[in-house]
């Protein structure tokens, strides 16, 4: 039995530690992503997966997460996804992963109750400085996640990896949140103002980044309704009007 392991053609079954090491190596490569080394990173990731193709789904999930969290490099991560589709055919899991990320990064407490946090916070015990700082950091992260998810969806759509339904879904979600957010105390409720501003900026980012802008013409009526019904500050009103111009 010992001699058989040295016979020609013998392939040792990978251990859990080897698979863990492969995932760690891929993450190290992804953390080095920059516009200057994209081909090298892609080559390195494909090489790591050559002997462990069953880890491709895990790696794809990690790439999409990094595209959301590091949205500056999102186009490069999407280029890597394209190469993984060519070699490992991972396109079939994109929809599943994007739905999971929607639950994690979009329909979270920031979007669900961000407009009400200022009110609810006043009824609870007074928070100390550290707790307030932690809440501030958490809120900023959730805002970044929302923007990152929107940018990822657009980049995937521009590369024809997802259909227009994904774009429609996120724009409708953002516009509906703006429509149902009460603007009465917007000047005194900083939480609500942040939510409104971030949603408007996300919509503006989608319209500026998407290539086939004419396919979003159907949202103009909803934007007109918002401009008519909501008393936005000049900065936000100009943003909304800029979206119409686009």
In this predicted model, what pLDDT tens digit does every residue of 196-241 receive, in sequence order?
999 999 999 999 999 999 999 999 999 999 999 888 889 999 999 9
Residue 31 pLDDT > 50, yes or no?
yes
Reduced to 3 states (helix: H, G, I; strand: E, B; else coil), residue 115 is: helix
Q: Token pair 């686009």 is at which residue?
A: 246
The residue among 101, 69, 100, 64 whose CA lies nearest residue 80 is 64
DSSP structure string for 45-69: HHHHHHS-GGGHHHHHHHHHHHHHH
Indicate the pTM of the whole model: 0.83
In this predicted model, what pLDDT tens digit does every residue of 98-126 receive, in sequence order?
989 988 888 766 676 544 444 444 455 78
For 160, list phi and psi in degrees, rounded to 5: 60, 35
In this predicted model, what pLDDT tens digit does every residue of 130-185 receive, in sequence order?
888 888 888 888 889 999 999 999 999 999 999 999 999 999 999 999 999 888 88
DSSP-derived letter for residue 93 is G
Number of neighbours of residue 139 by Cβ within 10 angstroms: 18
Q: What is the dihedral of CA 138, 141, 143, 147, to 10 degrees?
A: -170
- The gap from C-alpha 161 to its chain's centroid, in whole angstroms, comes to 15
In the prediction, which pLDDT does 115 show?
Answer: 44
């Amino acid at each position: 039995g010992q001699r058989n392991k040295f016979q020609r053609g013998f392939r040792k079954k990978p251990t859990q530690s080897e698979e863990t090491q492969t995932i760690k190596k891929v993450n190290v490569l992804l953390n080095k992503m920059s516009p200057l080394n994209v081909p090298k990173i892609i080559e390195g990731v494909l090489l790591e997966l050559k002997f462990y193709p069953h880890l491709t789904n895990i790696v794809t999930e990690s790439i999409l997460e990094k595209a959301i969290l590091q949205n500056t490099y999102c186009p490069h991560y999407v280029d890597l996804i394209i190469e993984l589709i060519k070699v490992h055919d991972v396109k079939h899991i994109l929809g599943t992963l994007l739905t999971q990320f929607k639950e994690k990064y979009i329909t979270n407490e920031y979007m669900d109750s961000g407009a009400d946090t200022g009110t609810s916070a006043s009824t609870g015990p007074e928070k100390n400085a550290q707790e307030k700082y932690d809440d501030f950091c958490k809120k900023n992260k959730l805002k970044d996640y929302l923007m990152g998810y929107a940018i990822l969806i657009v980049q995937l759509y521009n590369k024809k990896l997802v259909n227009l339904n994904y774009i429609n879904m996120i724009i409708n979600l953002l516009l509906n949140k703006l429509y149902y957010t009460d603007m009465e105390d917007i000047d005194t409720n900083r939480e609500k103002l942040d939510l409104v501003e971030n949603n408007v900026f996300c919509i503006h980012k989608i319209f500026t980044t998407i290539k086939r802008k004419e396919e979003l013409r159907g949202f103009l009526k909803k934007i007109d309704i918002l401009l008519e019904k909501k008393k936005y500050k000049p900065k936000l009103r100009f943003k909304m009007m800029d979206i119409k111009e686009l």
